[in-house]
Amino acid sequence: MGSCVEIKATQNHKPILQSLHPSPSIIVTVAVGVIRSMAAPPPPPPPPRHPVADNDDLVGEILLRIPPDDPTRLVRASAVCKCWRRVLADPSFAARHRAFHPSAAAVLGVLHNPADRELDRFVPAAASSFRAAPGDRRKRHILDCRHGRVVLYDYDSHYPTDGHVVWDPITGEQHRIPNVMDALTHPAVISGAAAGGGGGSASFIVAFVGVENWERHFWHAHACFYSSETGEWSVHINIHLDLDGYHLEDRPAALVGGDTLYFVGKSGILLRYRYGLPLRCGRDILGHGITSADVLTVVDPPPGAKRRLRLGYTVVMAAPESDGGGLRLGILHRHKLALWDREEDSSSAAAARWVWRGAIDLEPVLPWPVGKPKDKERACLAAVAEDPNVIFVGTEEDGVFAVELDSLRIKKVCELGKSQGRFFPFVSYSAESFLMSLASSKLPAPAAN
């Protein structure tokens, strides 16, 4: 039989070699020792936690510095540990973060109703990496957009009165509005924080206005609003209109002062809905000395402006706070935009008047002739509630441009293509939607750590 070499340890620990038959117990012992000698040293103890890691106030101050232009940074931060998620999920953090970045709202894209219904309703801005939450919106029609939310009409709805949907393009959340009257045709969405009714940014109201005529010379205007916070409708306001032709234009309303909306009528008038009055007083407006005419009123435009309103060469918006923050009407004539501000008198509604603020020459900045030259598509004008110093001018052929009225700086937002009607700039503080979803625990929690 063969022999093998066995390692033995003597009393002075010096191994000797012997040629003999193998001993299994000794071989196993030696193998275990060799493996142990090859094993990595034990890991060092974990370092002590830094005092900042357990201090929510200090962590909050650090997280406030995360830039808000890309919400994915906040997503990654919320997954670091439970402490960071707890700070970000605090309902007050969203307001603090927005206050720390006051100019963070940006144009993320444009919403419109494309002629090709297979196309998406959202067109991202060329300078933005943001993309709207996925979803099939081919059978939905854009009606309004403001404060990071969009009102759509769902043609797949089983009941016509339940077809209105409020959609958040950032989080993808949807809220269906129940029991909308047929007479209420023009919605305007306002965030709860902007409406001033006590709701936060996570809540919203949708104000509806409409005009109907049962007979040739018998016209009524209707208005009320729906609150997402209560799930209820406000008191229904109804007034009689003296003249015919009051149907409303298919264009977004202008939000002024945080409690008033102005809608444009096809006859060249403005319909003012002061939704803030029933929002503050509740359903018993008469008990507070408020009449329907105080809430819903017809406002005549400046002299000579009715025709321009009817033709669509106008933009209705809020004036900057430096100019009083009231209603502003921009009237485009050829290449000049004339600005009119409406000055209200709190003591008498009859004392309100239009004041001409001047004209802005757009010809030097726009890449195409404004007005309506021969064989040229008429430009469409739009404004946003988030920045009264900016108007948007666009055509299907040339795309959408943002123009700063004080500096006349111009920037192309995106291409547009064939569209049905108007476009709606989507301006949002994109980080806020994520933080509000985190605060309401609608996002998955991080791994245990």
Q: What are the tokens at 90? A: 């605090």
CB 281 within 8 A of CB 288: yes
* 129/139 Cα distance (integer angstroms): 26
What radius of gyration do the chain's Cα atoms show?
32
Q: Which two tokens stand for residue 53?
A: 């890691």
- Give the model's pLDDT for residue 92: 80
Alpha carbon distance 339, 359 (integer Å): 6
pLDDT of residue 388: 87
Q: Are strands 218-227 and 204-215 parallel, antiparallel or unpaired?
A: antiparallel
Do 269 and 299 meet the contact criterion of CB atoms below 8 Å apart?
yes
Residue 387 has a CB neighbour count (10 Å cut-off) of: 19
Write the DSSP symbol of residue 265.
Answer: B
pLDDT tens series, the chain, 449 aa:
444 444 444 444 444 444 445 565 555 555 555 555 555 567 777 666 555 556 778 888 888 888 776 666 777 888 888 888 888 888 788 778 877 876 656 788 999 999 888 888 999 998 877 888 888 888 899 999 998 899 999 988 777 778 999 999 888 889 999 999 988 999 999 988 777 655 556 789 999 999 987 776 778 899 999 999 999 999 999 998 876 556 888 889 999 988 999 999 888 889 999 999 999 998 889 888 999 999 999 998 888 788 777 776 788 999 988 888 899 999 888 788 899 999 987 666 667 899 999 999 888 888 776 555 555 567 788 999 888 889 998 888 889 999 998 888 999 999 988 888 789 999 877 666 667 666 666 545 544 44
Q: Are 446 and 85 in contact (CB under 8 A)?
A: yes
Nearest to 192 by CA among 209, 175, 172, 180: 175
- Residue 172's Cβ-side half-sphere holds a number of Cα atoms within 13 Å equal to 8
Helix, strand, coil shares of the chain, percent, nearest 5, are 20, 35, 45
Spell out a b/e string for 243-254, using b for 16 or more CB atoms within 10 Å of the CB, else e: eeebbbbebbbb
Which contiguous run of DSSP H or E holds residue 398?
Answer: none
Strand partners, 402: 392, 411
Res 176: pLDDT? 94
CA atoms within 13 A on the CB side of 203: 18
Q: Cα–Cα distance between 288 and 310 in angstroms, integer?
A: 36
- Scanning 19-104, the segments in alpha helix (DSSP H) are 24-38, 56-63, 71-78, 82-89, 91-100
